[in-house]
Chain A
Amino acid sequence: MASAKKSDVNLENAMVMADPALADWLVAAPLILGFIFGAICLMQRKNVLLQTRIALFGLLLMLIADIGLFINVWQNGTVVMTMGRWLPPFGITFAADMLGATFALVAGIVGLAGGIYALSDVDSTSRRYGFYPFLLLMLAGVTTAFLTGDIFNLYVWFEVLLISSFGLIVLGSERRQLDGAIKYAFLNLVATTLFLIGVAYLYGVFGTLNMADIARKAPALQEAEGPHFAIAIMFLFAFAMKAAAFPLNAWLPASYHTPRIAVSAVFAGLLTKVGVYALLRIFLTMFPADRDELGAVIAIIAALTMLVGALGALAQTDIRRVLGYLVISGIGLMLAGLALGSETGISGSIFYAAHSMIVMTALYLLAGIIGRLMGTFDLHKAGGLYQASPWLGALCLVLAFSVSGLPPFSGLWPKVLLVKGSIDVGAWWLAAAIIVSGFLTTIAMVRVFSFSFWRTRAEGLVEIGPISREGRIKLYAALGLTALTVIAGVYPEPFIQVSDRVAFELTHPQTYIDAVFGGNQEGGGQ
């Protein structure tokens, strides 16, 4: 079927001729590292101790790669690499802009914290049956989803992270877990399938899968006939469901409290944010015109999501369920910036996303520690922790105020940016929703603190012992994340600088297109 003769081919028409800079390989490093270390762990799965060490080393290397990539992108702009050296849009392009690099960096931190916490949380049976390989592959999937510049390839990483997370959620095989896992997997599969159908439709209309290519073709094609808007809505639906936005959030409260805490924690930090990332990428880089159309709709979704999440948190008596709903509430805030579409708003969303990834993970880790100390996650039976460990109480308060958006912790600043962004455009009701949801979150979290720390322990329950030496490892993981929220709260300048940069790039999608096609508007193959 192939027509031309091999000899009369000019490679320059089909391939990238220049060698990529060594630093550019960092864009593929999280994927390569995750898969290699995952594979080694699998080979060593019987040797639990060795496997654990290898996995942690791998997670650390992934984080280092993320840091390297972040610095590289910060200094030199978007890093682009097309797999197999095919010219974009023909091969699969990886393109790390500030958005991708920032999310990847935070994901790396969350992954490492989860891995460390798991040292004393996940039993050896679960480790033998693949806890660390699942974690590594999930992290590789999540990170690469942030870095790929090809929409079908994005789908592939969604699948990788979905199936690895399924592996993580069922480890333990308890009835409760299976119930959660089935709901999680089935509803997520619906969303993923819709995403896939959407990609197929998109290819039918655009004839390309490269995001930058789609972005540059979008303005002209959207004038033409064809169901562009409906396709955009399909993506909105699929990713809103992935992000657990109201009213498509049911899968999250149904499942996040069932697996081991280390698993819940990394889920809370990573999974929904991939959905948020995809929404930002699609509606800011690819279809900004559709975003302008949909701003009001997204704003309503955002407001409802934050309120339903915060109210849900208030209704719960199981600490883990409280946190599950707070994850949802946070998604609403991230969508608020997308709804506004202004640089201030988007910057707020980005900062909030990074904040939420860190703080929600830390909160789950903390919940695990206090749950183990008290022997229950049930707030009705909680109490007495203040006496046992005042420092743990301080940690809990810091995180509670941080997630509620009170100063001087990291939750405040993105909320201020979002409120300012809302008032700037007269969307006072969105500002009100942000403020009211923060207020409700404060009540929910202070109740958790008051019940488990301040209240005296009920008679007849087991004495609360000191934190074991093993348990201290968990504490270090939680402490590390908490330190980040304090730093970002007290000195937010660098964090706002980063999110401003991300917001600038997202509101100027031409920078992304130019980076992928080397500034040459014609690109390859035209």
Chain B
Amino acid sequence: MQLTFYALFAPFIAALFAPMLVRIFSHNAAWILALVPALLFFHYTGFLPEISDGGRVTGGVEWIPSFNVNFSWFIDGLSLTFALLITGIGTLIILYAGGYMKGHQQQGRFLSFMLMFMGAMQGLVLSDSFLMFFVFWELTSITSFLLIGFNHDKERSRRAAMQALVVTGLGGLSLLAGLIMIWNITGVSEISLLLGTGDALRESPFYLAAFLLVLGGAFTKSAQFPLHFWLPNAMEAPTPVSAYLHSATMVKAGVFLLMRMNPVMGDTALWETVLPLFGGATLLVGTWLAVRQTDLKLMLAYTTVASLGLLVMLTGFGTEKAIEGAVLYLIAHSLFKGCLFMVAGNVDHEAGTRDVTKLGGLMAAMPITFGAALLAALSMGGLPPFVGFLAKEEIYYGIASADSWSIFVTGVAIIGNALMLVIGFAVALKPFLGPKVETPKSAHEAPLLMFAGPVVLAALGLVGGLLSGVFHKLFSSPMASAVAGTPLEIKITVIPHLGLALTLSVITVALGVVMYWGMAWLREKMASLLKAIGWGPDVGFDQFIRGLVKGSTALTRRLQTGSMEFYVTTVFVVLGISLFVALYKADEWPQLPAIPSLFIYEWAVILICVIGLFSVIFAKNRLTAIVSLGIQGFGVALLFMLMGAPDLAFTQFMVETLSVVILALVMTRLRLLPQDHRSAYQTFQDGFIALGAATAMTLILLGVVQTEFDPTLSEFFNAYSYTIAQGKNIVNVILVDFRGVDTFGEIAVVMVSGLAILALIRILPKKTNPDVPRSENTEEIF
């Protein structure tokens, strides 16, 4: 179905037009923009009959055939339900954002980011090819970074956005490594094919590595303890963002990944230990931290963390019923959490505060919002006849049995669920019931754009529960089958059946009600406990970033000292060591050369060179050293002359003379100290390095000289320099003909040096140039 291809791009295209539409229609542009996700939702409903009959749909086009990467999609129960949640809730959220951000200067930009995020999320769940999955995965991180940092003038927003990007971005990179590893292990790079590889992954020796890398992606994205801290901080974003990212989309991506991998990675001791452990810890930490909050959004955020923990725990538990429970809870959570976030937004928008202690008695002013909130809270609390009830019953069916591990997990689930009920009711009831409290704004009902979303979601939670047969057939059973890897049929209804699960449900509700009464006390205790601990992963994040910057600064200062001596020393130490190691490794030591038989005057010239060198080293001042260097150079030139290379000798004389003159001139201009002071230790060290590097170079040279020289080139030049090139002096012919291009380049070098010197002398530095910003440092610091 090629329509899906366009569907994958549609939100991004809509995002392009959002700013323009908002400019024309102001906030009513949301009605037009919401058509895009609505149409997508409609498109995906078309797959329902086929998928609910156990079918799977794949499709795609070639994207990077050179790398075996396709742009391909894979629709089964899992991805279809997710796609419907993303586009369905997305439609409501776009409408909601139209009302919530009404009159905001950057509403167009906001809607544009929202649509881009939607596109990324949609692509993530539908991707078939690994790399496409990864691309969309990282796109959700990037777009959520833009959304969380939307109120960018607040430092807290910027920090939250950075934090989310750093944590989820790192997780994404881990996931990339994991996916590539799976690709290498199984030889397939598409999810639909991976699901058919059976035990290949589980039996691979690299299973542990792949497992940990995939977990790195899932746990960061789905905010598992101790990486949960970015999620509550992300509440700095405008409420539509929270309602969307933290109910059905972004944070569920990690759970989606685990559910996807369950058929091929699950069912191992590792999977069934690590997932429940981290999930359970996250559930408990999330709920207890939620109790402590007074900000409506933060309370919801922490219960989101808790819910994600519950989902991870269930996904890893390993029974079919647990998976069914996870699937039901995931859908229920998306509905009620989306609704409650929007409710919190409505309260904030209309009453001017989100602090639960400063709210009360809004029922009369905001009856519709209250109605939606109440329904959602009942679902969240797991009461019949809502979808939340189905989920909780199925969870207890799935995990409750007699062995100690199950009892432990069940205990965690009961405490977690009870606390979630507490929070759900605190959010849904506290602001609305009781005596009217004076709020910063005088509250009245939110506009249609803003209550449409909560009402629809709350109602769906009820309808789904009542029509559980249809609900299971279309959504939960196909999804559970996809997660389990075998066909499952969920049968649970809202009619309570006496049994263990119901008993546990009753215990949960009773516990919840008790804790609801004692909530003020609990909050106080939690607050003092957290104060006593004083440290959390959130503080740890700051310490990590600060430590990273400090550590890099210290490292960079050491490596980049700004001192030329240090750089040169490094270079020659590395040179000496690497050449010696090379000679040693390849055993390329030269043979000891025989003492050459030279005439006495040749020895004399060599002696002059050596004397020249010694006087360079021991010269009292720099000028003497320069002249002594000239002596050595002249000595070498003399040797050339004696060995029969007059052209070379002549050139060498010229170069040496010029060098001495130029160096002496530069010396006077640079105003260096006339003497070169070094401590004895320094002298020894520098001398050692210099001698070491020079010895290595000499050894190689000796080795080169000892090999037999291949005279092909010389013979050729000899043969043809007169006959073809018409020159009797072979050196000249080489310079101007055989290797004329070299000479051409060298001439350019001489000319450009001249020009550079001209520019250096003629251009006077400007004192200040306001147009061209300069940093104040005149010296290099690090």
User: Which residues from chain A sit less than 8 Å from chain B, CB to CB?
Assistant: 1-6, 9, 11, 14-15, 35, 42, 83-84, 86, 89-92, 125-126, 129-130, 133-134, 137, 141, 152-153, 156-157, 159-160, 163-164, 166-167, 170-176, 179-180, 182-183, 186-187, 190, 194, 197, 201, 204-209, 224-234, 236-237, 241, 247-248, 250-251, 253-254, 257, 260, 308, 311-312, 314-316, 318, 325, 371-372, 374-378, 386, 390, 401, 406-408, 412-413, 416-417, 419-420, 423-424, 428, 431-432, 435, 438-440, 442-443, 446-447, 450, 453-456, 491-493, 496-497, 500, 525-526
Task: Report the Cα distance A137→B582, complex, angstroms.
Answer: 36
Tally A-B pairs: CB < 8 A: 357
Quick check: A376 and B752 within 8 Å, CB to CB? no
Residues of B within 8 A of A86 (CB): 738
Q: Out of B571, B583, B740, which one reaches A248, CB within 8 Å?
A: B571
Quick check: A84 and B771 within 8 Å, CB to CB? no
A213–chain B nearest beta-carbon distance, Å: 9
Residues of B within 8 A of A156 (CB): 741-742, 745-746, 749
Also in contact, A207 and B709, with CB within 8 A (given A90-B716, A167-B759)? yes
Also in contact, A308 and B180, with CB within 8 A (given A126-B763, A237-B578)? no
Quick check: B165 and A446 within 8 Å, CB to CB? yes
Q: Which residue of chain A is the closest to B561 with respect to CB atoms?
A: A250
If over half of B's interface residues share one DSSP class (helix, strand or loop), that class is named, otherwise mixed; here it is helix
Also in contact, A129 and B571, with CB within 8 A (given A314-B552, A377-B775, A493-B65)? no
Quick check: A247 and B562 within 8 Å, CB to CB? no
Quick check: B571 and A375 within 8 Å, CB to CB? no
Quick check: A423 and B181 within 8 Å, CB to CB? yes
Quick check: A2 and B142 within 8 Å, CB to CB? no
Q: Can you list 13 contacts pairing A with B, beta carbon distance less than 8 Å?
A: A4-B720, A6-B723, A90-B713, A134-B756, A141-B745, A156-B741, A183-B780, A230-B582, A230-B588, A230-B699, A377-B773, A416-B131, A442-B169
Residues of B within 8 A of A163 (CB): 749, 752-753, 756
Quick check: B135 and A159 within 8 Å, CB to CB? no
Interface status of B762 (Cβ within 8 A of chain A): yes
Task: Report the Cα distance A420→B549, complex, angstroms.
Answer: 30
Task: Report the Cα distance A418→B161, complex, angstroms.
Answer: 29
Q: Which residue of chain B is the closest to A209 with respect to CB atoms?
A: B713
Residues of B within 8 A of A526 (CB): 712
Quick check: B586 and A228 within 8 Å, CB to CB? yes
Quick check: B560 and A439 within 8 Å, CB to CB? no
Give the interface segment out of B83-91, B170-178, B238-246, B672-680.
Answer: B170-178
Residues of A within 8 A of B574 (CB): 237, 247-248
Quick check: A443 and B166 within 8 Å, CB to CB? yes
Residues of A within 8 A of B741 (CB): 83, 92, 153, 156
Q: Out of A3, A225, A443, which one reaches B718, CB within 8 Å?
A: A3
Also in contact, A133 and B755, with CB within 8 A (given A175-B765, A230-B582, A416-B131)? yes
Give the interface segment out of B404-412, B617-625, B650-658, B700-708.
Answer: B700-708
Residues of A within 8 A of B737 (CB): 84
Quick check: A227 and B755 within 8 Å, CB to CB? no
A490–chain B nearest beta-carbon distance, Å: 10
Interface status of B139 (Cβ within 8 A of chain A): yes
Residues of A within 8 A of B729 (CB): 1
Q: Which residue of chain B is the closest to A11 with respect to CB atoms?
A: B724
Residues of B within 8 A of A194 (CB): 575
Also in contact, A226 and B759, with CB within 8 A (given A375-B773, A442-B165)? no
Q: Which residue of chain A is the closest to B758 with respect to CB atoms?
A: A129
Q: List the 8 closest A-B pairs by CB distance, nearest first.
A: A207-B710, A2-B722, A229-B586, A227-B703, A454-B152, A167-B756, A156-B745, A129-B759
Quick check: A254 and B562 within 8 Å, CB to CB? yes
Quick check: B724 and A314 within 8 Å, CB to CB? no
Most A CB within 10 A of own CB, among B710, B722, B746, B756:
B756
Residues of B within 8 A of A176 (CB): 774, 777-779
Quick check: B749 and A160 within 8 Å, CB to CB? yes
Task: Report the Cα distance A231→B705, complex, angstroms.
Answer: 13
Task: Report the Cα distance A236→B564, complex, angstroms.
Answer: 22
Task: Report the Cα distance A230→B759, complex, angstroms.
Answer: 40
Residues of B within 8 A of A455 (CB): 152-153, 155, 158
**Could you tell me which residues of chain B, from 144 to 188, have a CB within 8 Å of some CB in chain A?**
145, 149, 152-153, 155, 158, 161-162, 165-166, 169-170, 173-174, 176-177, 180-181, 183-184
Quick check: B749 and A496 within 8 Å, CB to CB? no
Quick check: B135 and A407 within 8 Å, CB to CB? yes
Q: Which residue of chain B is the closest to A156 with respect to CB atoms?
A: B745
Residues of A within 8 A of B549 (CB): 314-315
Residues of B within 8 A of A207 (CB): 709-713
Q: Out of A175, A325, A416, A491, which one reaches B180, CB within 8 Å?
A: A416
Quick check: B742 and A407 within 8 Å, CB to CB? no
Task: Report the Cα distance A137→B169, complex, angstroms.
Answer: 43
Residues of B within 8 A of A90 (CB): 713, 716-717, 738
Residues of B within 8 A of A172 (CB): 763, 765-766
Given contacts A2-B718, A208-B712, 17 further A-B contacts (CB under 8 A): A1-B729, A3-B719, A14-B720, A35-B748, A152-B742, A163-B749, A172-B765, A176-B774, A180-B780, A197-B697, A231-B704, A251-B567, A312-B555, A314-B549, A315-B549, A439-B169, A492-B64
B190–chain A nearest beta-carbon distance, Å: 15
Residues of B within 8 A of A390 (CB): 109
Interface status of B590 (Cβ within 8 A of chain A): yes
Q: Out of B571, B697, B706, which one reaches A225, CB within 8 Å?
A: B706
A366–chain B nearest beta-carbon distance, Å: 14
User: Which residues from chain B sit less than 8 Å from chain A, CB to CB?
Assistant: 63-67, 109, 131, 134-135, 138-139, 141-142, 145, 149, 152-153, 155, 158, 161-162, 165-166, 169-170, 173-174, 176-177, 180-181, 183-184, 209, 545, 548-549, 551-553, 555-556, 559-560, 562, 564, 566-568, 570-571, 574-575, 578-579, 581-583, 585-586, 588, 590, 696-697, 699-701, 703-707, 709-713, 715-724, 726-730, 737-742, 745-746, 748-749, 752-753, 755-756, 758-760, 762-766, 770-775, 777-780, 782
Quick check: B170 and A439 within 8 Å, CB to CB? yes
Residues of B within 8 A of A491 (CB): 63
Residues of B within 8 A of A137 (CB): 748, 752
Q: Which residue of chain B is the closest to A171 with respect to CB atoms?
A: B759
Q: Which residue of chain B is the closest to A93 with respect to CB atoms?
A: B741
Residues of B within 8 A of A208 (CB): 710, 712-713
B711–chain A nearest beta-carbon distance, Å: 7
Q: Out of B556, B575, B721, which one reaches A312, CB within 8 Å?
A: B556
Q: Which residue of chain A is the closest to B750 with respect to CB atoms?
A: A163
Quick check: A134 and B780 within 8 Å, CB to CB? no
Residues of B within 8 A of A15 (CB): 724
Q: Out of B209, B579, B709, which one reaches A233, CB within 8 Å?
A: B579
B305–chain A nearest beta-carbon distance, Å: 23
Q: Which residue of chain B is the closest to A311 with respect to CB atoms?
A: B552
Q: Which residue of chain B is the closest to A194 with respect to CB atoms?
A: B575
Quick check: B66 and A2 within 8 Å, CB to CB? no
Residues of A within 8 A of B778 (CB): 175-176, 179
Task: Report the Cα distance A183→B738, complex, angstroms.
Answer: 36
Quick check: A190 and B571 within 8 Å, CB to CB? yes
Task: Report the Cα distance A440→B555, complex, angstroms.
Answer: 15
Quick check: A227 and B588 within 8 Å, CB to CB? yes
Q: Which residue of chain B is the closest to A92 with respect to CB atoms?
A: B741
Quick check: A159 and B711 within 8 Å, CB to CB? no
Task: Report the Cα distance A450→B579, complex, angstroms.
Answer: 46
Task: Report the Cα distance A525→B184, complex, angstroms.
Answer: 49
A230–chain B nearest beta-carbon distance, Å: 4
Residues of B within 8 A of A141 (CB): 745
Q: Which residue of chain A is the closest to B586 with respect to CB atoms?
A: A229
Quick check: A315 and B553 within 8 Å, CB to CB? yes
B188–chain A nearest beta-carbon distance, Å: 14
Residues of A within 8 A of B756 (CB): 130, 134, 163, 166-167, 170
Residues of A within 8 A of B553 (CB): 315
Q: Out of B556, B581, B738, B780, which one reaches A179, CB within 8 Å?
A: B780
B46–chain A nearest beta-carbon distance, Å: 28
Q: Out of A229, A406, A440, which one reaches B142, CB within 8 Å?
A: A406
